[in-house]
Structure 1
Amino acid sequence: MKRWLALPLALLLSSPALAEIRGEEVRYSADGVNLHGYIAWDDSVSGPRPGVIVVHEWWGHNDYVRDRARQLAALGYTALAVDMFGDGRTADHPDNAGAFAREVAQNADIRRSRFNAAMDVLNAHPTVKNDQLAALGYCFGGSVVLNMAREGAPLAGVVAYHAGLASPVAAQAGVTQSRVRVFNGAADPMVPPEQVAAFEAEMRASGVDFAVVNYDGVLHGFTNPGADAFAERFGLPLGFDEAADSDSWAQTQSFLQELFAQ
């Protein structure tokens, strides 16, 4: 698969610990659709390291998902913030966001093709240990990484934050190999308790190594500092929660360390 790289972005972050973080825009494609990603890594770390795919919310590939990629790079991983909508499209209204998300969510071939193309890009990066990959996903992106895991994508583990857990795809013993972690807001009306219970039953039936963390009183979008602004602007049941965001990120770090401890 061909890969196009733009010029490196001039990223010199304020924290000394992040001073060696580099970032590049990447151009790749799937089934004739141009995709706009962003890859970040710590240039001061020698040798190949695990790679982490980061899948955006239904707002599309924006600064938030790039920030997450840089945070992962600061932890010693190479992270690729992907584009699941094509042409780097982002939404500025829930109507557009929903339309973009449905285009992918309702077509497994599109979702699979675009995600697999991203895995190829990440595996091809010179800083990445081939086939040592994990994936994180937020909201829409959380559903994407869960479905890729359900289908047996070669991912050591996946983490989903405030993600829809219902799916026409079911995890299966012998197919689903990824370890799974889910962080959910217990007050999220988009992911009701019965959906969480059904997901847990599905995971147990398939023998998947999984854990679900529910945060009391926490709404959808709790990891995104911009959630409150979206909620006010569009009347959506969203809300950033600093404690839940901090705890889920700490647990994610521990989980990634466990996945790749060798």
Structure 2
Amino acid sequence: MIVNRAIAVVFTALVVALAGQARAEIKTEWVEYSHGDVKLKGYLAYDDAITGKRPAVLVIHAREGMTENTKKNVEMFAKDGYVAFAADIFGYGQGVLPKDVPAMQAQTTMYNQNRTLLKARTQAGYDVLARHPLVDASKIAQAGYCFGGSTAVEFGSTGVPLAATLTFHGSFANHPAGWAKSLKGKMLIMHGAEDQGYPLTTVAGVIDELRAAKVDFQYEVYSGAQHGFSVPKSKPDQRADVQSRATAGRYLKELFNGE
């Protein structure tokens, strides 16, 4: 009788646990917002099994814009327990989604030549995330990919209250001297050793700025990896993609949990 009762208790606990797992789900939604007269649409994701406010990650997309890969990156951070939101930089809310490399270059050139607009557009996305009812606005990190990496540097230079800045194969170029003096929080740079467009000599300039400003930073370099390794085109890229995702997850956990 006692054995049967014990089995029943274990079975009930198992059923409850499985039911909880079944209810746990990454919720995703498109969020419409605006910057001036420009209609924008960002991608939001979070784990609905977690209750209450939690840290958040502002994802800044690569030059491809709001693609499936951008959505995958957002969902990755959501699976780690954060509210994640991809800011719409190009105007996806108005149908802007570059179809080829020339169109991508046209978009990035436009914003790189008008960095006041770039920073304001990123701020609009940050504000949407910071106001979300599930977000602890004192614990927001940003994660930029490619064009988004350089955008993260520009946005960080405004002194916005960030816990950390993460860059995946950032397209660093022509940042104003002294930008890191206003950067809040820490910084994690993940870069391919064979990035031809943004070589390690260029990244060295970013590191010099961080050192001069006494910003707490980490720098991870992946041998054989090219630019854009988060969309792998080779085995070294694949390795860099896996390792950078693991590093980002560990870094944010340590950051937000105080480990």
**What TM-score, normalized by structure 1, do the two folds share?**
0.84
Structure-2 separation of matches of 1:42 and 1:101: 32
- Unaligned segments of structure 1, at least 5 residues: 1-15, 229-237
Structure-1 separation of matches of 2:25 and 2:224: 38
Instruction: State the identity %.
Output: 36
User: 1:162/1:183 Cα in 2 relative to 1: closer, same or farther (>3 Å)?
Assistant: same
Structure-2 separation of matches of 1:113 and 1:241: 32
Correspondence for 2:50 among 14, 31, 45: 45
**What TM-score, normalized by structure 2, do the two folds share?**
0.85
Q: Which has the larger radius of gyration?
A: 2
Are the equivalent residues in 1 in contact too, given 2:63–2:105 (CA < 8 A)? Answer: yes
Please show how residues 217-228 of structure 1 align to structure 2 within 5 Å.
217-225=224-232, 228=233
Correspondence for 1:77 among 60, 82, 89: 82
What do residues 47-78 of structure 1 show as CA deviations (whole Å, max 9, x unaligned)?
11011111111011111111111111111100
Are the equivalent residues in 2 in contact too, given 1:147–1:167 (CA < 8 A)? Answer: no
What do residues 83-102 of structure 1 show as CA deviations (whole Å, max 9, x unaligned)?
10012521121110011111
Match of 1:134 in 2: 141
What do residues 78-136 of structure 1 show as CA deviations (whole Å, max 9, x unaligned)?
00011100125211211100111111122122111111111111111111112321010
What do residues 197-231 of structure 1 show as CA deviations (whole Å, max 9, x unaligned)?
22221211111111221111110111114xx3xxx
> How many residues are treated as equivalent by the alignment?
236
- How many Å apart are 1:147 and its aligned residue? 1.6
Q: Secondary structure at the match of 2:257?
A: coil
Match of 1:112 in 2: 119
Are the equivalent residues in 1 in contact too, given 2:59–2:143 (CA < 8 A)? Answer: yes
Letter in 2 for 1:241: D
Please show how residues 103-252 of structure 1 align to structure 2 within 5 Å.
103-171=110-178, 175-225=182-232, 228=233, 241-252=237-248
What do residues 234-258 of structure 1 show as CA deviations (whole Å, max 9, x unaligned)?
xxxx887221111111111111112
Structure-2 separation of matches of 1:37 and 1:172: 27
Are the equivalent residues in 1 in contact too, given 2:180–2:210 (CA < 8 A)? Answer: no
- The structure that is helix-richer by fraction is 2
User: 1:216/1:156 Cα in 2 relative to 1: closer, same or farther (>3 Å)?
Assistant: same
Q: Detail structure 1 runs of 4+ shifted over 6 Å in the superposition.
A: none
- How many Å apart are 1:187 and its aligned residue? 0.7
